[in-house]
A and B are shown apart, each in its own frame.
Chain A
Amino acid sequence: MAVAEKMLLMGNEAIARGAVEAGVQVVTGYPGTPSSEVFGTLAHFAKEYGYYAEWSVNEKVALEVAAGAAYAGARALVTMKQVGLNVAADPLMTLAYIGVKGGLVLVVADDPGPHSSQNEQDTRKFAQFAKLPVLDPSTPQEAKDMTVAAFDLSEQLGLPVILRPTTRTCHVCQDVTLGPLPATRNECRFDKNPGWVILPGLAYKKHIWLNQKQKEISRLFSSMPFNRAEIKGKTGIITSGVSYNYVVEALEMQGWEASLLKIGTPYPLPEDLVLEFLSRVERVLVVEEQEPVVEDQVIHLAWRHNLPVGVAGKHNGLVPREGELDVDRVTAILYKYFGFVGMEQAAAGNTVRRAPDLPLRTPVLCAGCPHRAVFYGFKEALKDYDPVFTGDIGCYTLGVIPPLNALDTCLCMGASVTIASGLSRVEQGRKHVAFLGDSTFFHTGVAGLINAVYNRAGITLVILDNGTTAMTGHQPHPGIGRNATGDPARRIDIAGLVRGCGVDYIREVDAYNLQEVMQAAREAVEYEGPSVVIARRECVALAKPGVRYRVNTGACIECMLCVENLGCPALCREEKVVISEKCTGCGVCAQVCPAGAIEEVSRHEV
Chain B
Amino acid sequence: MKFDMVITGVGGQGTVLASRIVARAAMDAGWQVRTSETIGMAQREGCVVSHVRVGENLAGALIPDGRADVLLGFELAEAARALAKLKAGGKAIVNEDVIVPTSVSAGLSRYRVQDIREYLEKELPGVCFLRASEVAREAGNSKTANVVMLGALSTLPGLPFSPEGLLEAVLKTVPSQFRETNRKAFEMGRRAMGVC
Q: Give the contact stretch, choosing among B97-105, B148-156, B175-183, B188-196.
A: B97-105
Q: List 28 A-B contacts (CB under 8 A).
A: A6-B27, A8-B24, A33-B39, A138-B60, A168-B36, A242-B60, A245-B60, A246-B59, A253-B64, A326-B64, A350-B66, A350-B90, A352-B123, A355-B83, A355-B116, A358-B77, A359-B104, A361-B10, A361-B47, A363-B46, A365-B42, A403-B102, A403-B106, A473-B40, A563-B106, A564-B106, A569-B45, A573-B104
How far apart sit A597 and B12, CA to CA, in the bound complex (Å)?
29
Interface of chain A residues 317 through 348 with chain B (CB within 8 A): 326-328, 331, 347-348
The total of chain A residues at the interface (CB under 8 A) is 63
A57 CB, min distance to chain B CBs, angstroms: 20
Q: Does B40 lie within 8 Å of A34, measured CB to CB?
A: yes
How far apart sit A178 and B194, CA to CA, in the bound complex (Å)?
41
Most B Cβ at <10 Å: residue of A34, A242, A348, A353: A348
Residue of B nearest to A540 (CB): B44
Query: B90-120 CB contact bits vs A (8 Å, 1 = yes)?
Result: 1000000000111111111111100110010
Does A568 count as interface, using CB distance less than 8 angstroms? yes
Does A16 count as interface, using CB distance less than 8 angstroms? no
With A361-B103, A364-B102, A471-B40 given, is the CB distance from A348 to B34 under 8 Å? Answer: no
Report which B residues bind A (CB closer than 8 A): 10-11, 19-20, 23-24, 27, 31-47, 59-62, 64-67, 77-78, 80-81, 83-84, 86-88, 90, 100-112, 115-116, 119, 122-123, 142
B73 CB, min distance to chain A CBs, angstroms: 12
How far apart sit A153 and B47, CA to CA, in the bound complex (Å)?
41
Q: Does B87 lie within 8 Å of A402, measured CB to CB?
A: no
Q: Please, which residues of chain B bring their CB within 8 A of the CB of A168? A: 36, 60-62
Query: A171-192 CB contact bits vs B (8 Å, 1 = yes)?
Result: 1111100000000000000000
With A116-B40, A326-B62, A360-B103 given, is the CB distance from A349 to B87 under 8 Å? Answer: yes
How far apart sit A350 and B63, CA to CA, in the bound complex (Å)?
14
How far apart sit A563 and B38, CA to CA, in the bound complex (Å)?
28
A351 CB, min distance to chain B CBs, angstroms: 8
Q: Does B100 lie within 8 Å of A572, measured CB to CB?
A: yes
Does A488 count as interface, using CB distance less than 8 angstroms? no
How far apart sit A366 and B102, CA to CA, in the bound complex (Å)?
11
How far apart sit A151 and B32, CA to CA, in the bound complex (Å)?
28
How far apart sit A471 and B19, CA to CA, in the bound complex (Å)?
21
B115 CB, min distance to chain A CBs, angstroms: 4
Q: Please, which residues of chain B bring their CB within 8 A of the CB of A359? A: 77, 100-101, 103-104, 109-111
Q: Does B106 lie within 8 Å of A357, measured CB to CB?
A: no
Q: Does A363 lie within 8 Å of B44, measured CB to CB?
A: yes
